[in-house]
Amino acid sequence: MYILLGSLFLALPWSDRVSVSWLDHLFTAASAVSTTGLVTVDPGTTYTWFGQWIVLILFQLGGLGYMTTSSFVVLAAKNSWSDERRSILASAFSLPRGIGLTHLVRNIVVFSLISEMLGTLFLYPVFRAEGVEHPLWSAFFHSVSAFCTAGFSLFPSSLEPFRDQMLINMVLTVLSYAGGIGFIVFTDLWSKIKNHDRRITFTSKVIVFVTLITSLGGVIGIFFLEPSIQGLPMKEKFLVALFQAMSASTTVGFNSVPMTSLSLPVIMILYFLMFFGASPAGTGGGLKSTTLTALLGEAWSHLRGYETVCMFGRRIPDSRVRAASMSATTYGMILGMGIFLTAVAMPRADFEWLVFECISAIGTVGMSMGLTGELNAPAKVIMIGLMYIGRLGVITFGLLFVTPTFNETAKNTDLAV
């Protein structure tokens, strides 16, 4: 409903500057609600200030989550929730033990607003100094877009004009990691600060560790393997490598260099980072870092002959491992079908570009090799479907067609998948 209503608002006469088809409005709305950032039209030049506001509201709702937003409103009005709402929220967030649901929802909204306002304050003077038109609006739009890992930009070439601007790169990087790492970690850390004797949950440790390792690996790979940046000054080369690795791993989808210039090894690095994506209970997409951990733990334990799955000295319950395996299998199957259908719709497209586009769509990343603007109508519909499924979650989507036969509660550890 958010996508449909958003497309109708974007189709209003005072929302756009040029004539745009309703399918393109629908594509933009789906991309915004799913916090993907893939666009078939340039938001900065296509939409008026009102239309840009609609896009911002859509990816703000998508970033926070419609259940989180509505639950915060209900909580503020009634100071309580129904049992059904509590059950849905607990399932949606995959909460580990030790994290209170009411506390988490309040923290999500407060933390989001504070982060976005601070990002705006830091970006405004830099955009103004760089001569950006309407610097305050641009600062606010890009701050919210970064924190929600939406990847929408008012600049036709994303952040390419600012690839050597240290402050812009760092502010957007911090905002994107803040959203992509997930609210569980920050709620956990805040509780630890207030209660010094409280232990950090296993889920938070896993999220931080996996995010650090994957991001570091991406930075090193891009820094040394990408030929198009080897001639840049060392600082600029590092900023590009950091920004693109961050953009893929948090699924924010900004780019500071032309994606079409990237070499095949770097494209494959981005495939991996986009596929697994960010962390649970955050604004990012992808298969999730905790799912990667559970899968690696399963492989490692079985290779060593263990009957139980262990990771970092902790036992991962069978129900969590099954959930990770089911999620990865379903995710891969839907992605494969999306790639095949897109290839049928666009048989002349370069295969690596087509794969990149589909991974970006289902992972709600938003980085593009330039194929999005060339999509025909059937391919646009397929991409809308992938973005929708990616935001909804492959398990949630799969449950539309089957009835679960088991409901096992994990009691052995607090890892959220």
Whose tokens are 């990408």? That residue is 226
Please enumerate in sequence order all residues whose Cβ is within 8 A of that of 183, keeping only pairs 6 or more positions apart, or say none: 104, 107, 108, 111, 281, 282
The Cα 368–Cα 375 span in angstroms is 12
The set of residues, in sequence order, having a beta carbon less than 8 Å from that of 117 and lying 6+ positions away, is 143
- Give the burial class of 30: count Cβ atoms within 10 A of its Cβ; 0-12 exposed, 13-18 middle, 19 or more buried: buried
Angstrom CA distances, 240 to 138, 195, 206, 259, 284, stand at: 21, 39, 27, 12, 21
Note the pLDDT of residue 76: 57
Dist CA 398 CA 263 (whole Å): 35
Q: What is the C-alpha separation between 298 and 415, in angstroms, rounded?
A: 14
β pairing state of 314-316 and 309-311: antiparallel
N residues, the chain: 417
For residue range 226-285, list pLDDT tens digits in order: 999 999 999 999 999 999 999 999 999 999 999 999 999 999 999 999 999 988 777 888
SS (H, E, C) 34-103: CCCCCCCCCHHHHECHHHHHHHHHHHHHHHHCHHHHHHHHHHHHHCCCCHHHHHHHHHHHCCCCCCCHHH
In this predicted structure, what is the pLDDT of residue 140? 98
- C-alpha 316/C-alpha 298 separation (Å) is 9
Per-residue model confidence (pLDDT) at position 192: 76
pLDDT of residue 284: 85
pLDDT value of position 83: 72
pLDDT at position 358 is: 97
The CA distances from residue 356 to 38, 170, 254, in Å, are 12, 26, 14
Dihedral in degrees, nearest 10, Cα atoms 407, 408, 409, 414: -120
3-class DSSP state of 230 = coil
| SS3 assignment, position 310 | strand
In this predicted structure, what is the pLDDT of residue 187?
A: 76
Cα(148)–Cα(285) distance, rounded to whole angstroms? 10
CA–CA separation, 32 and 37 (whole Å): 6
Q: Decide: pTM greater than 0.75.
A: yes
CA angle 231, 235, 213 (to 5 degrees): 105
CA–CA distance from 108 to each of 105, 280, 315, 391 (Å)? Answer: 5, 13, 29, 18
Whether 321 and 298 have beta carbons less than 8 Å apart is answered as yes
Joined together, the tokens standing for residue 357 give: 């586009």
> Hunting for tokens 């002349």 — which residue is that?
348
Report whether 232 contacts 240 (CB < 8 A): yes
Q: What is the pLDDT of residue 382?
A: 97
Interior angle at CA 200, CA 70 and CA 393, nearest 5? 40
Q: What 3-state class would DSSP assign to 182?
A: coil
Name the stretches of the chain with pLDDT < 70: 66-81, 85-104, 196-198, 402-417
For residues 95 and 314, give the distance between their C-alpha atoms in angstroms, rounded to a whole number: 17
Is there a contact between 55 and 28 (Cβ–Cβ < 8 Å)? yes
pLDDT value for 33 = 95
Q: Give the end-to-end CA distance of the chain in Å, rounded to a whole number.
A: 27
Q: Which two tokens stand for residue 236?
A: 């600029």
Q: pLDDT by residue (tens digit) across 83-138?
A: 776 666 666 655 555 556 666 677 788 888 999 999 999 999 999 999 999 999 99
